[in-house]
């Protein structure tokens, strides 16, 4: 078993270029005080309309109709909630969910400090490598990651062979199908949410404050505790909040990497729909999960603002940024670097082991393989179920990208043209699909689509994926619109261009990087999704991740590893495209 799902909120591309040393879109203030003319305003509402319709029909309606089931068929009943509160099994599942999420959050924060420190104090080239190392797990399909972890961690896996080889242990250690498996899998995927804001906070730290503390007699440890920690804490807390919010809704990772004692609330929801057919109870659990998620989201928005969710950036820096000075590192600094490098290995290892393993020729997984061949890749393309699943995934992703790009871009452009007092509310509503646990949307859409015949078609799945993906496009285009100088629009209109011509010749080319970045996110959101595919496809329409899931849940065979290798290649390719797009812009 294996694999974390795509987290509801990946760090946006805005965060990526910021870290990579390329100017981010964020930070340039929106045009303030620019009055909105009536025609412009009408156009703004029109731009928002299509996405609003989609989100109402395929997000709000399914989620709300699902949640309603939790309160009884006829009148208002709290029967299901009473059962959750009274049955010890369910109480312990809630406790497990919170405990695992809290531990994951703690691990993410503790492990992120050394990595962020490392990123802030190395040269630009190594920093770029570290950024890729941090982000690649994030961009990689949850199934690929989980598959790789299982291969590394299982009883006869790579890690145990290594430990027994050097004599550290004589018996295989149980790393997976228990608490450590879940924590490893979840920390691995959620860490970027803390590393990136923490790195930004470190860079925003004025070096002279550190030097002032040293001049006043503080040693390295004191400087860290009294200066660095308090100044970077807001960044860490912001990241930790996002981690926790995502963690409580995790489904695939605990399902594949945990044991029965690590059952989390999402699994119980899925179980009640799939096996118990107890929709009401699943709905009651969903209500609790959604309620908790939204409360955390609202607290986050209160404390840090919505912007922070996407930019990851901290405060603007005034003086020279925190960096390594010519004095070199203290002993503690050296230790931190070593630890940071170990964490970096932890982040990249699962992705690295996939390639050599997929190139083996034996039907048994081995690392490193005894001899190399393309046998399993050939097998992948020659086996119709694999090949068909790949084609289906690409079809769904294509539909999703088209839909998400059109809706998300129109909505982003529209948002800037409506009166300012509406913007925050609409922006918040439009990013909700990134926040709400995917399992709730999956079950809700399943409930809504089942009578319509959309379940088992690529259309139903594409609609679901568009709900997940359009917010990404919306956010990335919003970000790039912030650097679009509104007088360019006025200049074009003043020179005689109609609005449509202006949009085609001036607006869209200027914000194209944002649109492309959004398209890349949309593609990956669709291409990697397992949870929606589990509920909305059947044996004839299953996508590649769903087919892999079925394989991983039983036994990992080398073709799955080859599929994982292919997906990683696609991911790296898309990451490069995204990097080039944002680079060219700068």
- The correct pick among 23, 37, 208, 553 for binding other proteins (CB under 8 A) is 37
Tokens for 121, please give them. 């104090």
Residue 586 makes contact with other proteins by CB under 8 A? no
Nearer to other proteins, 492 or 563 (CB): 492
CB-wise, 37 or 226, nearer to other proteins?
37
Residue 580 binding other proteins, by CB under 8 A: no
Nearest approach, Cβ of residue 498 and other proteins (Å): 6
- Residue (280 or 513) nearer to other proteins, CB: 513
Q: How far is the CB of 490 from other proteins (least distance, A)?
A: 5
CB nearer to other proteins: give 37 or 385.
37
For every residue of 12-50, DSSP letters joined together read PTTHHHHHTTSPPSTTSPPPPS-PPPHHHHHHHHHHHHH
Distance CA 503, CA 409 (A): 12
Assess 451 for contact with other proteins (CB under 8 A).
Answer: no
Query: Toward other proteins, which CB reaches closer, 410 or 507?
Result: 507
CB crowding 480-516: b at 16 or more within 10 Å, else e: bbbbbeeeebeebeeeebeeeebbeebbeebbebbbb
Task: Compute the distance between CA of residue 91 and CA of residue 446 in angstroms, rounded to an integer.
Answer: 27
Q: How far is the CB of 190 from other proteins (least distance, A)?
A: 37
> Quick one: 261 or 495, whose CB is closer to other proteins?
495
User: Minimum distance between the CB of residue 476 and other proteins, rounded to whole angstroms?
Assistant: 18
Nearest-10 Cα torsion for 219, 225, 226, 232:
130
Encoding tokens for residue 424?
């925050």
As measured in angstroms, the least distance from the Cβ of 489 to other proteins is: 9
Q: Which stretch binds other proteins (CB under 8 A): 32-40, 197-205, 323-331, 431-439?
A: 32-40
Cis previous bond, 368, omega within 30: yes
Nearer to other proteins, 493 or 574 (CB): 493
In the complex, the smallest distance separating the C-beta of residue 513 from other proteins, rounded to whole angstroms, is 10
**Rounded Cα gap, residues 195 and 239, in angstroms:** 8
Which two tokens mark 408? 């998300």
- Pick out residues in 500-559 that bind other proteins (CB under 8 A): 501, 505-506, 509-510
124 lies in the binding site for other proteins (CB under 8 A)? no
Could you tell me the smallest distance in angstroms from the CB atom of residue 493 to other proteins? 4
Query: Smallest distance from the beta carbon of 328 to other proteins, in angstroms?
Result: 39
If binding is defined by CB under 8 A, does position 35 make contact with other proteins?
A: yes
Q: Which is nearer to other proteins, 481 or 575 (CB)?
A: 481
**Based on CB atoms, which residue is closest to other proteins, 378 or 580?**
580
User: What angle, rounded to 10 degrees, do the helices at 279-304 and 438-449 form?
Assistant: 140
Tell the residue number behind the tokens 């970027």, with chain if given: 192
Complete DSSP assignment for 200-260: HHHHHSBHHHHHHHHHTT--HHHHIIIIIHHHHHHHHHHHHHHHHHHHTT--HHHHHHS-G
- Residue 28 CB, shortest distance to other proteins, in Å, is 13
Of residues 41 and 375, the one with the C-beta less far from other proteins: 41
Helix residue ranges, H only, 56-87: 61-69, 79-86
Contact present, 400 and 469 (Cβ < 8 Å): yes
- With CB under 8 A as the contact rule, which of the stretches 31-39, 116-124, 221-229, 378-386 interacts with other proteins? 31-39
Residue 79 interacting with other proteins (CB under 8 A): no
* Least separation in angstroms between CB 214 and other proteins: 40
328 near other proteins, judged by CB under 8 A: no
C-beta closer to other proteins: residue 27 or 259: 27
- Per residue in 274-286, is it b (16+ CB within 10 Å) or e — as a string? eeeebbbbbbbbb
Interface with other proteins includes 270 (CB under 8 A)?
Answer: no
CB of 43 to other proteins, least distance (A): 13
22 binds other proteins (CB under 8 A): no
Whether 238 contacts 194, CB under 8 Å: no
Counting other chains too, the contacts that 539-545 makes at CB distance below 8 Å and 24 or more residues apart are 540/456, 541/392, 541/456, 541/457, 541/458, 541/461, 542/389, 542/392, 543/389, 543/392, 543/393, 543/396, 543/461, 544/386, 544/389, 544/390, 544/392, 544/393, 545/141, 545/142, 545/143, 545/393
Burial of 291 (0-12, 13-18, 19+ CB in 10 A): exposed
Site string for other proteins, 479-498 (x = CB under 8 A): ------x-xx-xxxxxxxxx
Contact predicate 543/392, CB 8 Å: yes
The reply to whether 38 sits near other proteins by the rule CB under 8 A is yes
Residue that has been written with the tokens 């956010």 in this structure: 475
Please say which residue, 291 or 509, places its beta carbon nearer to other proteins: 509
- Draw the binding track, 337-366, toward other proteins (x: CB under 8 A; -: no contact): ------------------------------
Give first-to-last CA distance, the chain, whole Å.
Answer: 43
Contact 123, 116 (CB under 8 A): no
Q: Are 560 and 568 in contact (CB under 8 A)?
A: no
Tell me if 583 contacts other proteins by CB under 8 A.
Answer: no
Count of positions on this chain that bind other proteins (CB under 8 A): 20
Q: What tokens does 463 get?
A: 């609609």
User: CB 496 → other proteins: shortest distance, Å?
Assistant: 4
Q: Which is nearer to other proteins, 218 or 493 (CB)?
A: 493
Contacts with other proteins by CB under 8 A lie at 35, 37-38, 485, 487-488, 490-498, 501, 505-506, 509-510
């Amino acid at each position: 078993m294996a694999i974390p799902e795509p987290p509801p909120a990946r760090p946006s591309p805005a965060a990526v270029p910021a870290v990579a040393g390329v100017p981010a879109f964020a930070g340039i203030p929106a045009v303030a005080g620019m009055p909105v003319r009536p025609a412009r305003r009408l156009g703004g509402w029109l731009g928002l309309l299509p996405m609003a319709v989609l989100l109402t029909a395929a997000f709000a309606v399914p989620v709300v109709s699902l949640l309603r089931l939790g309160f009884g068929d006829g009148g208002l009943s709290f029967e299901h909630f009473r059962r959750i509160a009274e049955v010890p099994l369910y109480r312990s599942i809630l406790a497990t969910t919170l405990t695992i999420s809290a531990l994951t959050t703690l691990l993410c924060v503790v492990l992120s400090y050394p990595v962020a420190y490392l990123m802030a104090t190395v040269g630009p080239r190594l920093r770029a490598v570290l950024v890729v190392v941090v982000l690649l797990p994030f961009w990689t399909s949850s199934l690929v990651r989980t598959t790789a972890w299982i291969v590394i961690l299982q009883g006869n896996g790579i890690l145990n062979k290594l430990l027994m080889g050097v004599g550290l242990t004589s018996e295989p250690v149980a790393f997976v199908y228990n608490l450590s498996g879940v924590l490893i899998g979840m920390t691995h995927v959620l860490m970027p949410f803390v590393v990136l804001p923490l790195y930004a906070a470190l860079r925003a730290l004025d070096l002279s404050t550190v030097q002032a503390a040293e001049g006043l007699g503080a040693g390295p440890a004191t400087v860290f505790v009294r200066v660095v920690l308090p100044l970077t804490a807001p960044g860490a807390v912001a990241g930790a909040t996002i981690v926790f919010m995502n963690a409580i809704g995790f489904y695939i990772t605990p399902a594949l990497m945990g044991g029965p004692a690590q059952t989390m609330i999402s699994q119980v929801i899925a179980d009640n729909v799939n096996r118990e057919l107890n929709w009401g109870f699943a709905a009651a659990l969903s209500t609790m999960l959604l309620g908790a998620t939204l409360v955390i989201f609202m607290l986050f928005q209160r404390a840090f603002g919505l912007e922070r969710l996407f930019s990851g950036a901290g405060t603007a820096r005034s003086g020279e940024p925190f960096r390594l000075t010519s004095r070199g590192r203290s002993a503690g600094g050296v230790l931190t670097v070593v630890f940071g490098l170990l964490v970096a290995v932890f982040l990249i290892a699962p992705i690295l082991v996939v390639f050599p393993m997929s190139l083996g020729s034996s039907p048994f997984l081995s690392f490193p393989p005894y001899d190399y061949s393309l046998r399993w890749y050939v097998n992948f393309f020659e086996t119709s179920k694999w090949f068909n699943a790949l084609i289906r995934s690409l079809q769904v992703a294509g539909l999703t990208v088209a839909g998400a790009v059109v809706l998300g871009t129109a909505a982003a452009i529209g948002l800037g043209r409506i009166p300012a007092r509406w913007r925050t509310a609409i922006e918040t509503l439009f990013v909700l699909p990134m926040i709400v646990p995917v399992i709730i949307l999956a079950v809700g859409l399943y409930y809504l689509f089942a009578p319509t015949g959309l379940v088992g078609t690529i259309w139903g799945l594409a609609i679901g994926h568009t709900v997940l993906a359009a917010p990404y496009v919306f956010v990335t285009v919003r970000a790039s619109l912030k650097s679009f100088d509104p007088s360019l629009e006025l200049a074009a209109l003043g020179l005689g261009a109609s609005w449509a011509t202006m949009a085609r010749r001036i607006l869209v080319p200027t914000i194209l990087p944002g649109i492309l970045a959004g398209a890349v996110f949309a593609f990956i959101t669709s291409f990697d999704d397992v949870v929606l595919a589990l509920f909305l496809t059947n044996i004839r329409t299953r996508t590649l991740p769903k087919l892999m899931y079925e394989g991983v849940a039983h036994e990992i065979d080398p073709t799955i590893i080859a599929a994982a290798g292919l997906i990683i290649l696609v991911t790296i390719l898309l990451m490069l495209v995204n990097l080039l797009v944002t680079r060219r812009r700068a």
